[in-house]
Structure 1
């Protein structure tokens, strides 16, 4: 709900110099503050309590110029629409409109790989994302098995997710689990493979100490270019399908 009056509530949105600001009550916050939400393309005004929401609104309005400048820095979203071209693990893939269930069509001698799906708008996007998730799970499961074999570890349970704060996570133990962001499918293969190696190395080392990075290097070599790519292009990856 967009608010223009004095009665504000958690989750309300307001316009500040043409930009959207969402209000959020977070009891763990120590003070009123502003936070960038790259996924939603908006700024969040945080207050420690409901009582301080008007102060958060006032603070956001005082920082109108800063909000507009920060939002202008956000990468543009990349819509998933028929005719668009994607790079999936480095392979060109064309999006097509079709009837019936969404499907992945392998590349042929005269055409790139394709994702064919029906519908339009958000429905079409969801169908394409489901295919990308399946592709991500297939490739990352294969690479995880390869790296686990090299480390003499059993292959853990693997799944894909859409986390915004990390590209992968590893839960070691008697029943280890590894989770990957499906958006790694949109990264170059070597970058996604580095993330798989990174998470597999956590099966042996739960920290980021020298022994951990030694395992990563034994699997993929110099990891620094891949980490740099994710830092530079991560926001773009999260904008695909936005």
Structure 2
């Protein structure tokens, strides 16, 4: 199977790595600027990723995984299990645990009650519709906070996109378009507000210098605490859904 090519000339291919009788998916990534082999475990989906210089082949990735199989095994066992969107499962919403409650005979909508995310309709549609609910709520809350902070600084902005970013919680494009991870709606409100303020501040200051940090601090009360929460707990949000 040919490797697919992504941005920046990065090629990628997923193969099966057989170890200790258990087949595991292994993503081989060829990076044009790679000078050495790098092995890591993806935080968000527990994928094993081997990055190679362009001249090396799949066999080099398999040999690397074999040499470090004990490390891979320890890393996999240490990572918390995925949490699907399903009936009776607890998921965070604005930092508070909520139980997903399916009502087979209820109306086909999603409602937020005290500690419960209620959903009616066919159970087969539940994961997709809960994911859509989180995306819509993320857009609603983030759009409101972006508008609030931009108004405070007398700034305009472009389109707001809601994505499922792995490496970034938010971004600010050169034309003023803003993008955010929908998973922020699972974080505490102060953390969601911090990321909104962070990206709005980038509309004026495109770096992370002293003036940028002063600007963020002028918009929200305690950016350091929110930043620390994301650093310590952010990876947990990728377990859900």
If the length of structure 1 is used for normalisation, what is the TM-score?
0.84
Which residue of structure 2 aligns with residue 20 of structure 1? 24
Would the aligned equivalents of 2:191 and 2:229 in 1 still touch at CA under 8 Å?
A: yes
| Match in the other structure for 2:209 | 209
Question: Using the alignment, how far apart are the partners of 1:148 and 1:222 within structure 2?
Answer: 18
Structure 2: runs of 5+ lacking an equivalent: 2-11
**In structure 2, distance between residues paired with 1:90 and 1:37:** 24
- Rounded to whole Å, the distance in 1 between the matches of 2:45 and 2:90 is 23
Residues 53-202 of structure 1: pairs in structure 2 closer than 5 A: 53-90=58-95, 93-98=98-103, 103-107=109-113, 111-120=114-123, 123-173=125-175, 176-202=176-202
Given that 1:197 and 1:220 are in contact with CA atoms closer than 8 Å, whether structure 2 keeps it comes out as yes
SS of equivalent to 1:87: strand
Q: Bigger CA drift: 156-165 or 185-194? A: 156-165
Correspondence for 1:5: none
Question: Is the Cα–Cα contact under 8 Å of residues 110 and 118 in structure 2 kept in the other structure?
Answer: yes
Deviations 1:50-71 (A, max 9, x none): 7521122112111111111122
Aligned residues: 228
8 A contact 1:89–1:189 mirrored in 2: yes
* Cα separation, 2, equivalents of 1:169 and 1:34: 27
Offset at 1:97?
1.9
Contact 1:103 1:131 in 2 (8 A): no
Task: Give the unaligned 5+ runs of structure 1.
Answer: 2-8
CA contact (8 A) 1:21 1:45 kept: no
TM (norm. structure 2) is 0.84
The CA RMSD over aligned residues, in Å, is 2.4
Distance 2:164 2:94 in 1: 17
Name the SS of the counterpart of 2:208 in structure 1.
coil
Cα drift, residue 85 of structure 1:
3.1
Cα contact 1:79–1:240 (8 A) shared by 2: yes
Aligned in 2, Cα 1:222/1:101: closer, same or farther, shift over 3 Å? Answer: same
Give me the whole-angstrom Cα distance separating, in 2, the residues matched to 1:232 and 1:19: 31
Asked whether the 8 Å contact 1:98–1:117 carries over to 2, the reply is yes
Give the Cα separation in 1 of the matches to 2:233 and 2:223.
Answer: 16
Q: Which residue pairs with 2:44 in the alignment? A: 39
